[in-house]
Amino acid sequence: MISKSSNLYKLLPWGVTCILLCPIIAIFLSAFVIDESGSFSHLVDTVLFTYISNSILVILSVVLLSIIFAMPSAWFVACCDFPSRKKLQWALMLPLAMPPYIIAIVYTDLLDFTGPVQLALRRLFSWQSIDDYYFPDIRTIFGASVILALSLFPYLYLLLRSAFLTQSAGLFQAARTLGLSPLQAFWRVSIPLSRSAMAVGISLIAMETLGDFATVNYFAVHTLTTAIYDTWLELGSLTTAAKISSMMLLAIVILISLENYSRRKQQVYQRNNNGNVDLRFVLTGWKKWGVLAFTWSLVSLSLFIPIVTLMYYAAHYFAESLNDDLINYTMNSLWLAFLVAILALIVALIVNFYQRLSPGFAAKSTIRLSSLGYAVPGTVVAIGVLIPLTSFDLLLNDFLLSWDLTPVGLILSGSLVILVLGYLVRFSAIAVGSVDSSLVQVSPSLELASRTLGNGPVKTLWRVNIPLIKKGMLTAFILVFIEAMKELPAALLLRPFNFETLATYVYQFVSDEMIEYAALPALMIIALGLIPFIVVNRLLEKKR
Amino acid sequence: MSIKKGLTVLLAGASVLTSSMSFAAEEVNVYSYRQPFLIEPMMKEFTAETGIKVNILFAKKGLIERIKREGNLSKADLMLTSDFSRLALFTEDGLAQPVESEVLDKNIPSKFHGASKEWFALTSRARSIYSSVERVGPTPNITYQDLATPAFKGKVCMRSGKHPYNISLLASIIAHEGEANAKTWLEGLKANLARKPQGNDRAQVKAVKEGLCDYALTNSYYLGKMLNDPKQVSWAEAVHINFPNQATTGTHVNVSGVSLAKYSPNKENAIKLMEFLSGDVAQGMYAEINYEYPVKEDVKPSKLVASWGEFKQDNIKLSDIAAQHKAAIKLMDEVKFDL
């Protein structure tokens, strides 16, 4: 679309992509170092294939469960009318604020053999041992998948809901007029139209699942991330760990490319996005009760039960948990998350607008490449960021010394710069995805009109696209903010001295399974993640 | 948000980013694999005595890798670990430097420091076997080897085999009996587990209380901690602590320890802290607050720990155990212990 393809347009997106890609390339290159320890062949001979099949099973189950949770609820909320719909509309997003490792601890605590639920059952029915009754074992692949899905499904819900909302009601109506039932219309019109949202949501969930270590590990489920940690931290073989990470990345790249390829001819633009307010199906009778039961159980499981449990712990250990540090760490978490969210949003706008201005393979690549970090486990991202930044610092200091200048020490890798970069590598994907999925719905005819009226490409983006994708941008901001509030492994390894976030503080106790002491700061993480949701939701409601 | 506002926010953020670089004059920086709340009482006491501020960076994973990458610019003075294998990795990778100190020599017996004094143990703890009060009673003659015999089928609970404490135990068995015997033992143990390895050491005790298993493989100090936690005291009261292998090799003992980083920028302060941690005050605190065994010979364990009785420790050299660390991890994979 740019007639004089200025290099500046390309320089910026590629620069950003390169910075975000640096750590991943560092890991990738480490994979080619010759390994003398034989760790990789040891893995192949022993557990690697079990780990691979566990990883695949966990991802498939989490994705499937997320669809089961998210797709109906998004459609009910967007296209039907029933009591408490407005409350549910945002209550269903809130589980995103729950760190999965916290939900995992709460549920394993509640449901395993020694937990209160089974204890109560044994007392009630005077069962003596585990042989006297059946209770599903929570520490299984399925248990871990349910918990991960409960905390990840809102990604898909959010994207699907906004896709359903903005889908032109006319198409749906046309389908109905042609004799389709609401359900048929849903399958044959709404779902195909929301395929891009679906793809983005599923890939976010799959990537996050693949990169997860803390949650599955807590469920005693061992996946490829287990192999990465074992080989790298215990067997001391960075190259084997890098090989496994690279394999995982490759799998992600292939899957995403396939999905994109299959969607290459499909284009969905939005003409009118305000029409279906009055066209919701009003639910009555058993349908109403069914929908209410489904949606509110989902909210209870993912939100209320964990929060109430944490509150119970926090109340019992309140005196031990409340101190000055807590306020201090809260502030740290807050401004760090804010900064990362802003930066991620900027990254997302840069690569997405590049794609808009000069669509094609190159631009598509920046989008894909800048999102890769999301699928890499936090600790691996951390080491990936450490490699280039420490190298830079060491070179810089040598250079300064050779010119008789005062060395500056670890100016990047010993400060918060490295932490912010680590977060960006990890979370840009979320911002890029949200902006992408709202930008594709803006019809190019609007841009063409603006260009015809004499506006330059940048001015068009600024005056036409940005106002149209404000909601997507806001979503991107909130999602990254929340992820950054929850982030643990990268923060743990990259933070400088005397800098704790709420998550690292929680981890101190959780790593010794002292959940009671961690309950108050954990609630703080959740509360701070909920606030921006509620504020933004109010803003959006008012505008409507 | 306007561009101007956005820029202001960014600039404010950037200024905070670099401000974390400055430190107080007298300080010592510690990379710690141990949870800060476990060591804070000692560090506070140290600061009160010397005026030197202690900065702690805690993580369970990756600190050695970080310090390796940081090279000669690393700000870390000390590496504090909760088990010996990490201490061994740290020194093997050439990340430590030897410390010559009369105080350390006097306080820490020679079996508790490296040959060239590049690492020092600070506390020791026994890998003990807890048995159910209700169903088993005290079993002073129990051995680690017993846990793998058919009589114990379905009666044993333990955490992940990959946890450093279990890796160390397995490494010690490899060192004593060779890899083939160790493998047979590990397979027997896996076959006797009441459930797939999961949870932490405390969770195993809870499982014994609830009747899921009769024996739990657990570190000694957890009993002290649980007896002092109102919620967990009932779990602790459901078990006896036994020190295994008294008639044979002795109970496996692991250590927590400290090493001076090769490029320590505050070396003097770091050595002062090492000396303090090996001294009467800190050793007493380790004993009283954490229920660990002090390494300084004239500091007694806490009354509670002493009440569990004296026991014969496995006298194999820590470095011999560390030499089998990787073999132990691989063996865990070979028998798919956690899967």
Give residue B253's Cα distance to chain centre.
10
- Asked if residue B111 has pLDDT above 50, the reply is yes
Q: What is the predicted pLDDT for the residue at A374?
A: 81
Residue A231 φ/ψ region, left for φ over 0, alpha for ψ in the -120 to 50 degree band, beta for the rest:
alpha
Alpha carbons A410 and A412: distance in angstroms, whole number: 6
Contact A411 B21 (CB under 8 A): yes
What's the maximum distance between 2 C-alpha atoms anywhere in chain B?
77
Which sign does the torsion angle of CA A342, A347, A350, A356 carry? Answer: negative
Instruction: Look at residue B166 and tell me whether its pLDDT is greater than 90.
Output: yes
Structure confidence by residue, pLDDT tens digits, A304-356: 999 999 999 888 877 766 778 888 999 999 999 999 999 999 999 998 888 88
**Nearest CB partner across the interface for B62, out of A112, A233, A411:** A233
Q: Residue A129 and residue A403: Cα distance in Å, rounded?
A: 75
Mean pLDDT of chain B: 90
pTM assigned to the model: 0.86
What pLDDT shows up at residue A278?
A: 58
Strongest mean pLDDT among A45-49, A362-366, B37-41, B49-53: B49-53
| Nearest chain A CA: its distance from B139 CA (Å) | 23
Minimal-distance CA residue of chain A relative to B12: A339
Alpha helix locations (H) across A454-497? 457-460, 466-468, 470-486, 489-494
Query: Min CA distance, B317 vs chain A (Å)?
Result: 20
Of A333, A340, A497, A476, whose CA–CA distance to A420 is shortest?
A340
A390: which chain B residues are within 8 Å (Cβ-Cβ)?
Answer: 69-71, 73
Portion 148-167 of B in contact with A at CB < 8 A: 160, 162, 167
Interval B56-101: pLDDT, tens: 998 888 899 889 989 999 999 999 999 898 899 899 889 999 999 9
CA dist B91 and B338 (Å) reads 29
Question: Does A414 contact B21 at a Cβ distance shorter than 8 Å?
Answer: yes
Name the percent of chain A lying above pLDDT 70.
94
CB-based contact B35 A508, cutoff 8 Å = yes
Confidence category of residue A269, pLDDT binned at 50, 70, 90:
low
Q: Which residue of B has its CA nearest to A216?
A: B198
Question: What does the block give as tokens for A230?
Answer: 């074992």
CB contact, 8 Å: B323 with chain A?
A: no
Percent of chain A with pLDDT over 90: 25
Distance from the Cα of B212 to chain A's closest Cα (Å) equals 7
Interchain contact, B210 vs A492, CB within 8 Å: no
Confidence band, pLDDT 50/70/90 cuts, at residue B5: low
Please tell me which residue of chain B has the smallest CA distance to A123.
Answer: B210
The secondary structure of residue A377, as a DSSP letter, is -
Question: What string of H, E and C letters represents the secondary structure of chain B?
Answer: CCHHHHHHHHHHHHHHHHHCCCCCCCEEEEEECCCHHHHHHHHHHHHHHHCCEEEEEECCCCHHHHHHHHHHHCCCCEEEECCHHHHHHHHHCCCEECCCCHHHHHHCCHHHECCCCCCEEEEEEEEEEEEECCCCCCCCCCCCHHHHCHHHCCCEECCCCCCHHHHHHHHHHHHHHCHHHHHHHHHHHHHHECCCCCCCHHHHHHHHHCCCCCEEEEECHHHHHHHCCCCCHHHHCCEEEECCCCCCCCECEEEEEEEEECCCCCHHHHHHHHHHHHCHHHHHHHHHHHCCEECCCCCCCCHHHHHCCCCCECCCCHHHHHHCHHHHHHHHHHCCCCC
d(CA A128, CA A126): 6
Query: How many CA atoms are closer than 13 Å to the CA of A57, on its beta-carbon side?
Result: 15
pLDDT (tens digit, 9 = 90+) per residue, A188-235?
888 888 888 888 889 889 888 988 888 888 898 999 988 888 888 788
Identify the pLDDT of residue A265: 65
pLDDT tens-place string over residues B298-307: 999 999 999 9
Q: With bands split at pLDDT 50, 70 and 90, how would you rate the model's confidence at B20?
A: very low
Sign of CA dihedral A416, A422, A427, A428: positive
Could you tell me the pLDDT band of residue A168, with boundaries at 50, 70 and 90?
A: low
Set of chain B residues whose Cβ sits within 8 Å of the Cβ of A392: none
For residue A394, the number of C-alpha atoms closer than 13 Å in the C-beta half-sphere is 14
Q: What is the pLDDT of residue A542?
A: 64
Rg of chain B taking only CA atoms, in angstroms? 22
